[in-house]
Amino acid sequence: MKRAFAIFAGLYAAFQGAAYADDLALADAMGYLATKNYEKAFATAAPLAAEGDDRAQHLVAIMNENGFGVPRNIEHALELYEKAALQGNADAQFAIAELALDGVDVKQDFEKAAGWLKLAVMRGHARAQARLGALFIDGLGVAADAPRAASLFEGAAIAGDAEGQFNLGLVFLNGDGVAPNDEKAGFWLLQAAEAGHHGAQFNLALLYESGRGGDDNKPKAPGWMRMAAQAGLPEAMTAMGLMVHKGADGAGFTASDWFEKAAEAGDPQGQFFFAVALAEGDGRKKNRKAALSWVERALAGNGLPEKARNDALALKGALGAQG
């Protein structure tokens, strides 16, 4: 019996040694990938993936999906993701769900995405919680369930996921599945904003600007809006233009500059306000033809609120009459 125990103990030690060596090799592969040394990353991870290591399979799948050091091969990437996912790799489960949600490289399938996200959530994957919560909010692939969405967002938020924090802030802001609570909304939006989430920065600025975030925070609104605008969020550019028009610091840009940036980025309200600036010569030389072109672009879609749409129609009529 002692002999048998000694043999098994030796096998266990050998197994532990191999696993440790694999961990080191995988860490090296991840380091190579992070520094864009794709050739070494692939050479290190591929043998482990071939041996069935789920973490290596996930890593090589990422390389195939994105064409990092190998020809882009979404089919092989998906094959490797699925092999890793079936071994319980939550990152791979999440990756398959993301592909199904995007519907770019594979057929969009919300039910499939929800299924894989649920498995990843069971393994504590924070970003999967945030994504699954979004599906429950919109009723995509699952029955709409706002309280469950809020619970998933909370789990992701507490785990430190910025998207989860952002979404939890929004549900408290709008009362989706929870009682509306501006204080909690502001807290979670702030966590996400500080983590660099541009949507959170935008919404936090709106909350502060409205006064619902407290009088002490209202002066902070332009700073957060400026961050979101400088990051390229079109609706934040428009809002920044309005704030600058009321006297806020535009970081070297006038209100019309911000409206132009928003217009060129495709924001309908930015297009309308830039048309107004051109029509009235406010920060820009008057240009009826350009103003008419921008207001027509603003009206082309359904992105304008009712009042802005009515104002845009009136402006279009006036500009047409001038011609």
Distances (CA, A) of 233 to 167, 264, 266: 17, 12, 10
| pLDDT on residue 258 | 98
CB of 60 closer than 8 Å to CB of 72: no
Is residue 75 within 8 A of residue 88, CB to CB? The reply is no
pLDDT digits (tens, 9 = 90+) for 162-206: 999 999 999 999 999 999 999 999 999 999 999 999 999 999 999
**pLDDT > 90? residue 323:** no
Name the residue among 192, 223, 189, 233 with its Cα closest to residue 207.
189
pLDDT tens-digit series, residues 112-133: 999 999 999 999 999 999 999 9
Cα distances from 297 to residues 81, 103, 132, 241, 258, in angstroms, run: 43, 28, 35, 19, 17
Give the residue-averaged pLDDT of 144-167. Answer: 98
- Predicted confidence at residue 19, as pLDDT, reads 57
Tens digits of residue pLDDT in 45-66:
999 999 999 999 999 999 999 9
How far is the CA of 124 from the CAs of 13, 40, 117, 211, 214, in angstroms? 29, 31, 10, 37, 35
As a whole number, the mean pLDDT across the chain is 93
Task: State whether the Cα torsion 246-247-253-256 is positive or negative.
Answer: positive
User: Is the predicted pLDDT of residue 294 greater than 60, yes or no?
Assistant: yes
Using 50, 70 and 90 to split pLDDT, how confident is the model at 21? low
- The answer to whether residues 154 and 166 touch, using CB atoms and an 8 Å cutoff, is no
What band does 16 get if pLDDT is binned at 50, 70 and 90? very low
Give the Cα separation of 305 and 260 in Å (integer).
Answer: 19
Residue 69 · residue 59 · CB < 8 Å: no
Which pLDDT score is estimated for 301?
A: 86
